[in-house]
Structure 1
Amino acid sequence: MTDELRADVVVVGGGVAGLAAAVALSRSRRSVVVVDAGEPRNAPSHGVHNVIGQEGVLPLELLSRGRAEAQAYGVRIVTGLVTGASGMLDDFTVEVHGGVRRVRARRVVLATGLVDELPAVPGVEEAWGHSVLHCPYCHGWEVRDQRVAVLGRNENALHQVMLFRQLSDDVTLFLHDAPEPTDEQWEQLAAMGVGVVTPRVERLVVEGSQVRAVEIEGGRLFEMDAVVVAPQFIARTEVFETLGGERTTTPFGEQLAADPRGMTAVPGVWVAGNASDPMAMIAAAAASGVMTGAAVHGDLAVADLMQAVRERAR
C-alpha cells in the first residue's frame, strides 16, 4: 500500500539549503515535508568552514543538528530517493522509492544540490575532498605552505593559481587540458614564481586519501601535498525536468535557472542552494534556503488571502 503525506510544501533535498528553507517555512506555521536521499555533496570533507559559530564542524554533524532543529518545528523528514514528480500549482505529487510513499503539496522547493564531475585522472576521485580540492575558501587554509599542484582543465586554471599562490609559495601549474598561456599570462606566472609543467598528467600518486605526487607523461614524478582541480558543477535536475522545467548550461556545468528569490519558470516550483548557484558555499546555500522559504511562504499567504476573499464573496 502507498503511504501518502500531505503538506503545504515538499522540499526535495535535505542539505543545508533544504533544511534552512524548511525551518523558515515551519516557523511561519507551514506544514513541510523534506525528502532526503542522504547524499550530501560535502560528505568527504574533514570539516565545514566559513560558517560563523560552526567552524570545522563535520558535515554530517551539521546536517544532524539541522534536521533536529527542523523536526523541533514540526517538519517531517522522509529518507529516500525521489523517483517521480507530477502535478501543477497547488497540487503536486512527489513519489519516493517508486511510489511506495507519496507526498502531496501545494508548492515544491528543489534543494537537490549538484554533483562534482571530476577530471578523469586516476587518483583524483580517491583523494577528493581531502588532498584534492577546488575551493581556496573552503579548504585552502588547510593546505597553506604546502606543495600545491593546480591541474589545468580550462582557462580558469590561472585564476586558481592566483588564489592558491596567496596560500603557499610552492605552487605548480600542470597545464594538462588548459590552453597554452598567452604572453601576458606567462609574465604573470613568472611574476608569481609559479612553475609550469606542460606534458599531460597521467595520474596522481595517492596513499589512502593523501596525494604524494603527480605523474606526467613519460613517468616523471613531482612530489606534491595537494592538488587543485576544476570540477564541472552538474546540478541534479531530474525532478525539475519531470515537472516541465529545463536545465541551464553554463561554462561551469549545468544548473536550474531561478530569480533571486528562488522562483523558477515552472509555477509553484522553487529552488534553493547549489542547484541554482553552484558557487554558493555552505553559509550562502543556507541563506538561499531561508530566503526561498520566506518567499514561498509569502506566495502561499497571497494565495490563501485570495481564496478567503473568494469564499467570503460566495
Structure 2
Amino acid sequence: MPETTLVDAVVIGGGAAGLNGALMLARSRRSVVVIDGGEPRNAPAAAVHGLLARDGTPPAELLEQGRAEVRRYGGVIRSGEVVKAEPAAPGPDGDLRFSITLADGDTLTARRLLVATGLRDVLPDVPGLAAHWGGAVVHCPYCHGWEVRDEPIGVLAIGPASVHQALLFSQLTDDLVYLANGTPLDDDARARLAARRVRIVETPVDRVLSDAEGRLAGVVLADGQLVARRVLAVATRMHARLDGLEALGLPVQDLPDDLGSHVVSGQAGTTEVPGVWVAGNVTDPSAQVGSSAAAGALAGAHINAHLVTAETEAALRG
C-alpha cells in the first residue's frame, strides 16, 4: 500500500460488522480498506453461538474466512491501529474526504468511513474474576447459556440490570444464586427472583476462588463463607471503543443504569457526522455476531448508495 492512499471507504474494525460492511462494498466494486486492530470482543470465547449454519465455529476461524471473502472481491485487510481519523479538505469534486493515520505512520484518505470498532467490556473489580472471563465467567445467556446449562450458576450483581440477567439464566439451571454484592433489591425484584426459585445472597463477595486444576470453584464472601459455583454470570460495563476517533465528533450517549456508553446512530448506521456510519457493538452493545454482521452489511450497502448519489450529482454538474 502506498504511503498515502485514496479509497472509496475505510472500515475501522475487522470484526463481523466491519468485514460484512467491507464485503458489501467490495462486491459493489468499491475500493475498500479494513483496518483491523486484532482485538475482537469475542476473542476469549471458544465458539460463536446462535449464528445460523455456523453455530459452534471458533471466532478466529469465522473472522479468517470473512477476511478471505473480502479479499476475494478486491478488498484490502490491513492490520494496524488507527491513531487519528478526522475530516479532511473536500476533494476536487467537492465531495467529502477523511484522513486516517495509522500507528506506523501511514495515512489513507477515504471518501466515506464505517466505524465498527466494537466495545470494551469492563468487569467488576473482584479478585480472581477476570481469570475466568470467556470460560466459566459469562455474560450472555444466548451466547453461552446452553454450554453452562444445569451447572450451579451464580449471578454477580452490578446493578438493576442484573436482576433481569438472573431471570434469564434461571431458564437454564435449577441451581441459581443471586449474589447481590451490595446492590439494592426492592420488593418487586425480590418477588420476581423468588418466583423463579433464585436464592439471594446478601453478603458482599470478597474474591473468586479457583480449584487446584484452575477451574472456577465459587466465590468467597466477606465473612469467609464459600458459595460453591461452577459458573458466574456477570453483566459488564460496555464502553464504545473510540480511541483515535475523537476528532470525528461522533455522538456518544451513556447507557441506562451506568452500563457504559455507545455511539448514537440512525437508519442503516448513519450518524450525525456526514459521511460516517457505525455498525455492530460500537452502537448496539447487545448485538451478537449475526446481528452485527447484518448491521455491517446494511451500512455497507447504504454507503455504496450514498457514493452513487454523490457521483451522479457530480456527473450532472459536468
Q: By the TM > 0.5 criterion, same fold?
A: yes
Q: What residue is the counterpart of 2:201 in the other structure? A: 197
- Alignment-derived partner of residue 39 in structure 2: 39
Structure 1: gaps (5+ residues): none
Q: Residue 261 of structure 1: CA displacement?
A: 0.9
TM-score (norm 2): 0.94
Q: Is the 1:114–1:275 Cα contact (8 Å) retained in structure 2?
A: yes
- Separation in 1 of the partners of 2:120 and 2:282? 9
Q: Which amino acid aligns with 1:254?
A: S
- DSSP 3-state at the match of 1:212: strand
Equivalence map 1:151-162=2 (5 Å): 151-162=156-167
Shift of 1:201: 0.5
Cα distance change, pair 239–263 in 1 and its aligned pair in 2 (3 A): farther
Amino acid at match of 1:136: P
Cα distance, 1:75 vs structure 2: 0.5
* C-alpha separation in 1, matches of 2:316 and 2:182: 61
- How big is the alpha-carbon RMSD for the aligned residues of Structure 1 and Structure 2? 1.5
How far apart, in 2, do the equivalents of 1:268 and 1:210 lie? 48
Name 2:173's counterpart in structure 1.
168
Does 1:131 find its partner at 2:152? no
CA distance in 2, matches of 1:83, 1:185: 45
Flag structure 2 segments of 5+ consecutive residues without an equivalent: 89-94
Query: Shift of residue 239 of structure 1?
Result: 4.0
- 8 Å CA contact retained: 1:237, 1:256: no
Q: Secondary structure at the match of 2:165?
A: helix
1:50 is paired with a residue of what secondary structure?
A: coil
Find out whether 1:50 has 2:50 as its counterpart: yes
Change (3 A) 1:239 1:108: farther
Does the aligned pair in 2 maintain the 1:45–1:59 contact within 8 Å? Answer: yes
Query: Number of aligned pairs?
Result: 309
Task: Give how far 1:182 is off.
Answer: 2.2
Q: 1:287 aligned to 290, 294, 304, which one?
A: 294
Where does residue 227 of structure 2 map in the other structure? 222
Matched with 1:96 is: 102
Query: Aligned to 1:182, which of 179, 186, 196?
Result: 186
The 1:209–1:58 alpha-carbon spacing in structure 2 relative to 1, beyond 3 Å, is: farther
TM normalised by structure 1 equals 0.95
Partner-residue secondary structure (3-state), 1:78: strand
Pick from 295, 313, 316 the counterpart of residue 309 of structure 1: 316
Per-residue deviation, 1:186: 2.2
Q: Does structure 2 retain, via aligned residues, the 8 Å contact 1:127–1:209?
A: no
Taking the aligned partners of 1:278 and 1:72, their CA distance within structure 2 comes to: 30
> Share of identical aligned residues, percent?
41
The CA distance in 2 between the partners of 1:244 and 1:59, in whole Å, is 31
Residue type of the alignment partner of 1:273: G
Q: Contact 1:124–1:204 (CA<8 Å) still a contact in 2?
A: yes
CA deviation after TM superposition for structure 1 residue 237, in Å: 2.1
Given the superposition, is the C-alpha separation of residues 211 and 60 from structure 1 closer, same or farther in structure 2, using an over 3 Å criterion?
Answer: same
What per-residue deviation string (whole Å, max 9, x for no partner) do you get for residues 221-273 of structure 1? 11101001110110012344221223211222111111021111111111011
What is the CA-CA distance between 1:306 and the residue it aligns to? 0.1
Partner of 2:92: none
Corresponding letter in the other structure for 2:293: A
**Partner residue of 1:145?**
150
Report if aligned partners of 1:171, 1:195 keep a CA contact under 8 Å in 2.
yes
